[in-house]
């Protein structure tokens, strides 16, 4: 079979992925092996594959494939989240295109359309994940509104309500005027926003006096029910107990005092609007102020506003500012920047408002969830996120869990006309409870219209994908739970990670996972977060088509240390494609030797290359295993990349390559096939397609790399490894000298080596002579006159060549090297002479500096001797 010029991924990716699926390699059932479980953070059913998904799921696939190849029972559970707000917005958009409004439909009719949309578009992202070769157990695909899952969410609500942890109350909430729903604090994104600060004059009742206030929200003055000043502010002491008149609507409001007010900010006088500001609401409760809600649900002004009724709040602001200016209530306007809350889902400016909602008390839930992370029973990678987690958990607020939406888990509360209610899983049960509680048989009840917050279902994810709540004793949840690793983004540490830990302890009395790996955010080359509006988010599916799945995975992983943001550059995908082609060309070279082996039994001319590479493999296996245990996944890939590109392709294959039309030793060839196989196995979790293909092309096989178990790494021989480092350093150094002296590669040289380590050189002599085209190598105690001299390491090399010598050029080169080494020696001496450094540095660091000094001194001595000879 003739191999293509370059690796061509498209056809091979489809072939191998289908093969793995057919073989059920990704399917897992409980058995006697050690389980390794990951539950995928469920993407929204509205989602389309982007770079964040690529990063997050590539990491999970690497971990799951690595565990599978370690012999563990690897189980990676896929699924999607129903995403209440996002999905409802998509369905409303679909209906709008069909000329239908949500308000014209009953709840049941709307939900029929929602399920239609979900069935048509909801699985797209899961199909797209297959393009990247992710080894998910597709038989286990879950959805947060699957029947069993849905019932579990409802039962959890009922259980927590029975415990008194879920309650109903009218409190200040964040209101999304676009989605027409309440939001939790975590669903509000605070953004620095440029605004205007308006200085307004309020007249004092029955006086010619007035008081100035400063506000960024003049459209809320109709909701003002007081003006507050600091009790110690001398400017306003004469106004204590008096009344002010609200401009435009002439409402009389009291002037109150409270040390909450900052005298230095604005005018030192604060307008108090209890219905539309969180802090004002607390002031209002403290002072018993009236609450005037001037906004409708959609952010337009209500009848309570008295003026500009029905106008959008921001349009009303413009009109009110204009009228205030005309009537001389607006004294001045200045630029002002402050944080404004935006809805995470719709990007609408959030409106604080009083609303009757369902709440979950969080303090008792947070206690074990905080303890388990701080005591590292659950480990965070990187650990810096522990402090962020602790701060939030120690200051946790009750969770607003109700949403004014139809798509989602409907709150199981049932009301009569008087507003009395019971919490029950269905209407029959509710009527029985109502009769028992209120002595009203067969009452006419209506179920609460609201749905539960999306996160109230996804916090059950790690155990409910195994039906751990709906069927708590089942063998699957007992086997797979707690899971091993959660891979997620730090921005949902509160939304999801913390709440899953709480749910794990509340409903399973156990942590949900052993470790949490936090990815960074994928940014563009300029450090900007990728977004549609900036047009800097690449078409991931297009990149996969262009570069292949392996190169795409490589490109995102090579630059993604845990927890740090990734500056995405398409050149990293080109690097991945080049890596594919490098391995492909190495395969073609090795396949050329097939059938050209020397007669079996002939001794190898030199066993050093195979001995070295065997030990190098042991060394890297141990290093990679250590990196993977510490979740240093990007670093592990870099180590494997260097091993294949540099050590195997650039050095090993050159060292064992037979001469032109010469056979290769049979034992060396078999070892080379074995090494190439081991390399593909090591790389497979990172780049599964190219490695599986090469694995099968190297030799005829019955098994697949996807499930091939790692061998136990042997102990590397450091002597052989150090000898190889020396060999590489010498070859590189001598090639550099040849190049500078313009000695053509085809021209052979005679090499004289002045060294105290002749035994070491004897073991690498045949490779060295081949690599630098030396027809002979000899060892000398003194420099050889009439030769080109150079120093590599601690040894001197004299190169004898037929071309005329340029001693002046040699002198210049050696003098330049000497000056560099003397400067280097001064810097090392300075460091070792620093008492503070010596006192604080680790012993191994000091030993390294002392070695640098000794090596530099030896080199200087040898170069000075060489210069004397010249």
- pLDDT tens, residue by residue, 708-723: 999 999 999 999 999 9
- Each residue of 823-858: pLDDT tens digit? 988 998 888 888 888 888 888 888 888 888 887 887
Report the b/e string of 696-715 with b at 16+ CB within 10 A.
ebbeeeeeebbebebeeeee
Nearest alpha carbon to residue 605 among 552, 562, 665: 665
CB 409 within 8 A of CB 457: yes
Mean pLDDT of 158-181: 94
Instruction: Give first-to-last CA distance, the chain, whole Å.
Output: 58
Pinpoint the alpha helices (H) of 425-498.
Answer: 427-438, 455-458, 461-464, 475-480
State how far the alpha carbon of 349 is from the alpha carbons of 48, 313, 376, 623, 806, in Å: 25, 11, 38, 50, 77
What's the rounded mean pLDDT across residues 658-666? 86
The confidence score (pLDDT) of residue 288 equals 94
The contacts of residue 316 (CB under 8 Å, 6+ apart) are 219, 301, 305, 308
The answer on pLDDT for 37 being more than 90 is yes
Q: How far, in whole angstroms, is CA 627 from its chain's centroid? A: 17
Tokens found for residue 379: 């480990």
Tokens coding 288: 């018993």
- In eight-state DSSP terms, residue 497 is I
- Determine the Cα–Cα distance for residues 696 and 16; give it in Å rounded to an integer: 11
Contacts of 36 (CB under 8 A, 6+ apart): 63, 64, 67, 68, 70, 72, 73, 74, 75, 484
Q: Retrieve residue 78's tokens.
A: 């896929």
Can you read off the two tokens belonging to residue 812? 């210049």
99, two tokens: 């000329």
Counting residues of the chain whose pLDDT is more than 70, the rounded percentage is 98
What's the rounded mean pLDDT across residues 152-159?
98
Q: What mean pLDDT is predicted for residues 625-636?
A: 95
Higher-pLDDT residue of 247 and 565 is: 247
Give the span between the Cα atoms of 785 and 796, in whole angstroms.
13
Mean pLDDT of the chain, nearest integer: 92
What is the structure's pLDDT at 533? 63
439: buried, middle or exposed (CB in 10 Å: 19+, 13-18, 0-12)?
exposed
**Does residue 576 contact residue 550 with C-beta atoms inside 8 Å?**
yes
CA distance 640 to 623: 10
Helix axes 363-374, 499-508, angle to 10 degrees: 100
pLDDT tier, 348 (very low <50, low <70, confident <90, very high otherwise): very high
**Cα angle, residue 70 at apex, residues 68 and 75 outer, rounded to 5°:** 25
Paired with 529 in beta bridges are: 523
Distances in Å between the Cα of 722 and the Cα atoms of 107, 612, 728, 761 are 74, 9, 10, 12
> Quick one: average pLDDT of 354-361?
94
Query: For tokens 């002439």, what's the residue?
Result: 250
pLDDT at 77 over 80: yes
Q: Specify the pLDDT at position 550.
A: 97
Confidence of residue 563 (pLDDT cuts 50, 70, 90): low
d(CA 430, CA 863): 95
Is residue 625 within 8 A of residue 685, CB to CB? The reply is no
How far is the C-alpha of 807 from the C-alpha of 870, rounded, in Å?
7
* Integer Cα distance of 717 and 650 in angstroms: 21
Average pLDDT rounded to a whole number, residues 197-221: 95
Q: Which residues pair with 229 in a beta bridge?
A: 257, 269
The Cα-based distances of 359 to 168, 363, 584, 716 in angstroms read 6, 12, 59, 60
**pLDDT for residue 75 is more than 60:** yes
Q: State yes or no: pLDDT of 731 exceeds 90.
A: yes
More confident residue, 576 or 442: 576
Average the pLDDT over each of 356-365, 637-646, 737-746 and give the range with the smallest value: 737-746
CB 818 within 8 A of CB 794: no
User: What pLDDT does 562 receive?
Assistant: 65
Say what the alpha-carbon torsion angle 27, 577, 724, 662 is, to the nearest 10 degrees.
100
Query: Residue 170 contacts by C-beta under 8 Å, 6 or more apart in sequence?
Result: 354, 355, 356, 357
- The reported pLDDT for the residue numbered 564 is 82
**Coil, helix or strand for 742?**
coil
pLDDT above 90 as % of the chain: 74
- Residue 64's contacts (CB-CB under 8 Å, 6 or more residues apart) are 36, 38, 74, 76, 135
φ/ψ of 599, rounded to 5, equals -55, 130
Range 348-369 average pLDDT: 94
The 10s digit of each residue's pLDDT in 110-122 is 999 999 999 988 8
Residue 5, Cβ neighbours under 10 Å: how many? 10
* Mean pLDDT on 389-412: 95
In degrees rounded to 5, what are phi and psi of residue 177? Answer: -75, -15
Residues 480 and 30 sit within 8 Å (Cβ to Cβ)? yes
Residue 556 to residue 52: CA distance in whole angstroms: 10
Give the model's pLDDT for residue 357: 94
* Phi, psi of 340, rounded to the nearest 5 degrees: -125, 140
pLDDT beyond 80 at 869 = no
Tell me which DSSP letter residue 664 carries. B
Give the orientation angle of helix 633-642 with respect to helix 51-69, to 10 degrees: 70
pTM, rounded to two decimals = 0.87
- Mean pLDDT across 807-823: 81
Question: pLDDT at position 848, please?
Answer: 86
Q: How many CA atoms lie within 13 A of 857 on its CB side?
A: 8
Give the pLDDT score at 602. 52
What is the DSSP-derived secondary structure letter of residue 798? Answer: E
Q: Which residue did the predictor score with more confidence, 266 or 519?
A: 519
**What DSSP letter does each residue of 9-29 carry, written as one string?**
HHHHHHHHHHHHHHTTTT---
H/E segment holding residue 183 = strand 181-183
Position 626 scores a pLDDT of: 96
Token digits for 820? 């560099």
- List all residues 6 or more positions away from 306 whose beta carbon is below 8 Å from its beta carbon: 222, 249
Token pair, residue 580, equals: 């594919």
How many angstroms separate the CA atoms of 778 and 554, rounded? 46
d(CA 412, CA 686) in angstroms, rounded, equals: 46
- How confident is the model at residue 245, as a pLDDT? 97
Per-residue pLDDT of 242-294, as tens digits, reads 999 999 999 999 999 999 998 888 899 999 999 999 899 999 999 999 999 99
CA gap 140, 80 in Å, rounded? 12
pLDDT for residue 376 is more than 70: yes
852 CB-near residues (< 8 Å, 6+ apart): 824, 828
- pLDDT tens digits along 520-543: 888 888 888 776 667 777 889 999
- Confidence at residue 865, expressed as pLDDT on a 0 to 100 scale: 74
Q: For the chain, give the number of residues.
A: 870
pLDDT at 605: 54
Q: Answer yes or no: is pLDDT of 452 > 70.
A: yes
Residue of higher predicted confidence among 785 and 320: 320
Q: What is the pLDDT of residue 601?
A: 53
Please report the DSSP string for 96-115 in residue order: HHTT--GGGS-HHHHHHHHH
């Amino acid at each position: 079979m003739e191999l293509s010029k370059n690796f061509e991924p498209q056809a091979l990716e489809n072939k191998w992925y289908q093969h793995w699926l057919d073989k059920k390699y990704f399917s897992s059932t409980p058995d006697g092996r050690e389980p390794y479980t990951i539950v995928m953070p469920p993407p929204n059913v509205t989602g389309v594959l982007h770079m964040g998904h690529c990063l997050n799921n590539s990491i999970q696939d690497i971990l799951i494939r690595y565990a599978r190849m370690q012999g563990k029972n690897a189980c990676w559970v896929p699924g999607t989240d129903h995403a209440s707000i996002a999905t409802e917005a998509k369905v409303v958009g679909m209906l709008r295109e069909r000329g239908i409004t949500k308000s014209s439909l009953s709840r049941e009719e709307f939900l029929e359309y929602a399920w239609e949309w979900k069935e048509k578009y909801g699985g797209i992202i899961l199909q797209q994940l297959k393009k990247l070769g992710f080894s998910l157990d597709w038989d286990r695909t879950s959805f947060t509104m699957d029947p069993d899952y849905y019932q579990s969410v409802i039962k959890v609500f009922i259980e927590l309500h029975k415990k008194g942890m879920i309650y109903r109350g009218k409190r200040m909430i964040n209101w999304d005027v676009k989605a027409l729903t309440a939001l939790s604090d975590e669903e509000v994104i605070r953004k620095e926003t440029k605004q205007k600060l308006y200085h307004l004059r309020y007249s004092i009742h029955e006086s010619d006096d007035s008081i100035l206030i400063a506000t960024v929200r003049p459209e809320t003055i109709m909701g003002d029910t007081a003006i507050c000043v600091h009790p110690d502010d001398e400017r306003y002491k004469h106004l204590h107990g008096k009344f002010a008149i609200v401009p435009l609507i002439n409402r009389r409001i009291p002037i109150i005092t409270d040390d909450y007010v900052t005298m230095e900010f604005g005018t030192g006088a604060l307008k108090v609007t209890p219905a539309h500001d969180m802090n004002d609401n607390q002031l209002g409760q403290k002072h018993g102020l009236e609450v005037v809600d001037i906004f409708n649900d959609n952010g337009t002004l209500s009848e309570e506003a008295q003026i500009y009724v029905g106008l959008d709040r921001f349009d009303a602001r413009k009109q009110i500012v204009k009228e205030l200016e005309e009537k001389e209530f607006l004294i001045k306007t200045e630029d002002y920047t402050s944080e404004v809350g935006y809805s995470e889902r719709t990007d609408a400016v959030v409106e604080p408002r009083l609303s009757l909602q369902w709440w979950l008390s969080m303090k008792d839930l947070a206690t074990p969830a905080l303890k388990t992370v701080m005591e590292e029973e659950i480990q965070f990678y990187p650990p810096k996120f522990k402090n962020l987690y602790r701060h939030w958990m120690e200051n946790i607020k009750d969770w607003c869990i109700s949403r004014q939406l139809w798509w989602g888990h409907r709150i199981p509360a049932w009301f009569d006309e008087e507003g009395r209610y019971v919490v029950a899983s269905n209407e029959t049960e509710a009527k029985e409870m109502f009769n028992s509680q209120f002595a009203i048989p067969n009452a006419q009840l209506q179920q609460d219209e609201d749905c539960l917050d999306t996160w109230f279902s996804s916090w059950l994810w790690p155990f409910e994908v195994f039906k751990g709540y709906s069927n708590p004793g089942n063998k699957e949840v007992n086997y797979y739970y707690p899971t091993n690793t959660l891979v997620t983004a730090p921005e949902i540490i509160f939304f999801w990670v913390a709440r899953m830990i709480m749910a794990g302890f509340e409903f399973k009395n156990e942590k949900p996972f052993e470790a949490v790996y936090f990815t960074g955010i994928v940014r563009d080359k300029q450090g900007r977060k990728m977004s549609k509006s900036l047009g800097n988010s690449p078409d991931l599916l297009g990149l996969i088509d262009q570069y292949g799945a392996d190169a795409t995975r490589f490109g995102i992983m090579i630059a993604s240390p845990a927890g740090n943001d990734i500056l995405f550059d398409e050149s990293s995908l080109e690097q991945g494609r080049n890596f594919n082609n490098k391995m492909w060309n190495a395969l073609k070279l090795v396949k050329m030797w097939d059938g050209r082996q020397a007669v079996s039994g002939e001794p190898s001319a030199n066993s050093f290359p195979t001995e070295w590479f065997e030990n190098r493999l042991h060394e890297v296996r141990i290093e990679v295993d250590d990196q993977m245990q510490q979740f240093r996944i990007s670093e592990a890939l870099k180590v494997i990349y260097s091993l294949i590109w540099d050590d195997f392709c650039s050095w090993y294959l050159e060292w064992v390559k037979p001469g032109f039309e010469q056979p290769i030793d049979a034992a060396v060839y078999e070892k080379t096939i074995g090494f190439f196989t081991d390399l593909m196995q090591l790389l497979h979790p990172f780049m599964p397609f190219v490695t599986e293909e090469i694995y099968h092309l190297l030799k005829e096989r019955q098994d697949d790399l996807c499930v091939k178990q790692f061998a136990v790494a042997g102990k590397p021989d450091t002597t052989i490894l150090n000898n190889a480092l020396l060999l590489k350093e010498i070859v590189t150094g001598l090639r550099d000298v040849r190049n500078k002296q313009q000695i053509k590669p085809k021209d052979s040289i005679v090499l004289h080596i002045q060294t105290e380590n002749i035994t070491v050189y004897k073991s690498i002599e045949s490779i060295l002579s081949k690599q630098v085209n030396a027809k002979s190598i000899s060892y000398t105690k003194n420099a050889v006159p009439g030769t080109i001299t150079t120093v590599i390491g601690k040894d001197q090399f004299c190169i004898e060549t037929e071309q005329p010598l340029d001693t002046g050029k040699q002198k210049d080169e050696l003098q330049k090297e000497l000056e560099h080494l003397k400067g280097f020696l001064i810097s090392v001496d300075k460091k070792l002479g620093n008492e503070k450094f010596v006192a604080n540095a680790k012993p191994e660091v000091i030993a390294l500096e002392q070695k640098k000094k000794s090596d530099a001194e030896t080199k200087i001595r040898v170069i000075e001797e060489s210069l004397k000879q010249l």
